[in-house]
Amino acid sequence: MNPNLSTFTIADFGCSIGPNTFHAVQNIIDIVKLKHLKESQEDSRVAPLEFQVYFNDLPNNDFNTLFRTQPPSSKQEYFSVGVPGSFYGRVLPRNSIHIGNTSFTTHWLSKVPEEVCDKNSLAWNKNYIHCNNLIEEVTEAYKVQFEKDMGVFLKARAEELVPGGLMITLGQCLPDGVAMYETWSGIVKDTIGDCLQDMATLGVTTEEKIEMFNLPVYFPQVSELKGAIEQNIRFTIEMMEIVSHPLEAVQLSNNFITSMYRAILSTVIERHFGGSVVDELFRQFAKKLSEHPIDFEKCKKQMVYHIVLKRK
């Protein structure tokens, strides 16, 4: 650590509005403080640290809610700033942050691949609303978009981080050889698509709207993820490990799954279909889950990865 450094800067990308954001930031600060304490004991010239934290998310994020749920000022160890903007591009000045962090965000693409909504394309995803790996051309279109987005994401972070700075990424991917439709979350998204089809039959929405709707989400296989990262020569991979997901210890109920996916997908669905569709969609979804419960024991599992990158 630079002995002349007095301000240590952290950025959380895709921070959302939940308390997990603050837990992640506090964990980083605690580790930095321990390292700084050791250095200050060895060298009295080491200046005291102040922490600056940037919370980045899309402009439609409710930053007011985020900041209202911050720890009380008497317990807060950092100064905070909200930074609206897509992390698929630079949102902070060059060489301005020491540690970047993002959790469960990079599977969200910057856009849906155009081919999957094109009736004249082999990659038209007519009967599905996400990349479930059932159609090879659809999977390839999503994979290409993911690789482009990951390249842009890492390029931007490399410009924002100081030399030697760290980028910490936590997220989900698929084991090599496992398809999304074999996982319980893939089954959930396919079931939501089936509910939309039922609603079209009832006249609540239309087939045309469904055909033009795909989720901008892609879970790469682990080898694809590593390959996309290695293409960026500005970073070295300091650590890449598979960790356990908190949900592995949770007994998944129909109510829990319904509320979770409503929270995750409501904004995207409302933007495309209109707000009047959301309540009916998740009412039908809950009904389908009760009539046809998911056999979690037979589902293949996704993987949770923890990666630490170091800027060269």
User: Domain residues of the chain, as ranges?
Assistant: 86-311
Q: Please tell me the distance from the alpha carbon of residue 28 to that of residue 26, in angstroms, as a whole number.
A: 5
Q: Please tell me the distance from the alpha carbon of residue 88 to that of residue 55, in angstroms, as a whole number.
A: 15
- Got the DSSP string for 88-139? SS--S-TT-EEEEEEES-TTB-SS--GGGG-TTSTT--TT-SS--SSSHHHH
User: Which residue do the tokens 């051309």 mark?
Assistant: 137
> What would the two tokens of residue 169 be?
């990424």
Q: What is the pLDDT of residue 21?
A: 87
Just give the CATH number of 86-311: 3.40.50
Report the candidate in 121, 147, 155, 149 with the shortest Cα–Cα distance to residue 135: 121
Q: Please tell me the distance from the alpha carbon of residue 250 to that of residue 232, in angstroms, as a whole number.
A: 36
Q: What is the pLDDT of residue 2?
A: 47
Q: What is the pLDDT of residue 218?
A: 98
Residue spans of the chain under pLDDT 70 = 1-5, 74, 246-247, 249
> How many other β-carbons are positioned within 10 Å of the β-carbon of residue 266?
16
Q: What is the pLDDT of residue 36?
A: 84
Taking each helix axis from N to C end, the angle separating 184-201 and 276-291, rounded to the nearest 10 degrees, works out to 120
> How many other β-carbons are positioned within 10 Å of the β-carbon of residue 84?
13
Evaluate if pTM is beyond 0.95: no
User: 299-311 pLDDT, tens per residue?
Assistant: 999 999 999 999 9
Collapsing DSSP states into helix, strand and coil, what is residue 34? Answer: helix
Q: What is the pLDDT of residue 241?
A: 95
